[in-house]
Amino acid sequence: MGIKIVSTGSYVPNKVLTNFDLEKMVETSDEWITTRTGIKERRIAENETTSDMATKAVLKALSGESAEDVELFLTATATPDMFFPSTACIVQANLKNKRALAFDISAACTGFIYGLYVADSIMRSKNIKKGVVIGAERFSKILNWEDRTTCILFGDGAGAVVLEQSEEEGILGFDIGADGSYGDLLYVESVGSNNKPPHYLYMKGNEVFKVAVRTMTDSAKRVLEKTGISADEISMLVPHQANVRIIDAVAKRLGIRDDKIFVNLNRYGNTSAASIPIALDEAVREGRVKKGDLVLMVAFGGGFTWGSCIVRL
């Protein structure tokens, strides 16, 4: 038995916040943000919760199919609606499913890769035929909009994939890990995306940048080695969308050409656990990747956590 990604979906809010809008809010400029991050705009959820966005992403991934057959809902999020019930349980209820396993995991920006790893393991061990992994974030609720070093970076959105048992092996390998000694470089003390945040996101950007490039590169190299796949065989690199300089540095170290890198950071900013599934869905729908292609996904996030995964679509 193999596990394959059979469909993808994503959702982003309608409100667009551009760099020019931010110029009116904090001391910054479009040129400064673009040069240092590659971000031009991001989406902001106004009257939508994390679970609202997650539900819409799942509906798109299901493509009209009933959610009744889904046996697992796993949501990766650092900005849940509330501490409990889990965002996954809320999504399950929204979709009128009453039988599936449903729970959240928190691994910050690496959450979706962690989620795939956990879902893959559960589906194999428990003979689950159909599962959904979601990455969903409402980071706009935990940002200090007077802090120009962080508020320019993040946005809101959700992405999802449907996993099914298959005679073909779709998920080929993982490399995941964490090093909690870096925890003070990027953190939020408490959060509930439905409530006014008692604490904001804090980040030491320069230190995070250095560790991110090294860690993502090393993780990607390890998963390539584990699977026996060369970088030249990869059809598309779908990295966590945090900073275009990080993405360029990682791709260069891996020897992956620019035309094999999917980037939508300029339109959405860093959507944390949602960034890879949103990017994967767009790559599929734009025809950048197709059935049979090898896709390398790699992420890095607060914790520090890291993870990479190779899938054959």
**Structure confidence at residue 205 (pLDDT):** 72
DSSP 54-110: HHHHHHHHHTT--STT--EEEEE-SS-SSSSS-HHHHHHHHTT--SSEEEEE--GGG
Q: Is the pLDDT of residue 254 over 70?
A: yes
In 3D, which of 258, 224, 261, 264 has the Cα closest to residue 241? 264
Q: How far apart are CA 44 and CA 51, in angstroms?
A: 15
Q: How far apart are CA 82 and CA 258, in angstroms?
A: 40
Computed over every residue of the chain, the mean pLDDT equals 94
Q: Is the pLDDT of residue 246 over 70?
A: yes
Cis (ω within 30 of 0) for the bond into 80? Answer: no
For 74-85, write each residue's pLDDT tens digit. 999 999 999 899
Does 270 qualify as catalytic in the annotation?
yes
For 26-45, write each residue's pLDDT tens digit. 999 999 999 999 999 999 99
Q: Is the pLDDT of residue 142 over 70?
A: yes
Active-site choice (19, 89, 97, 109): 109
How many CA atoms, within 13 angstroms, populate the side-chain half-sphere of residue 307? 22
Active-site choice (97, 243, 264, 270): 270
**274, 240 in Cβ contact below 8 A?**
no
Does 309 qualify as catalytic in the annotation?
no
The model's pTM is 0.94
Look up residue 270 and give its amino acid.
N
Active-site choice (19, 240, 243, 309): 240
User: Pairing mode, if any, of strands 305-312 and 2-11?
Assistant: unpaired
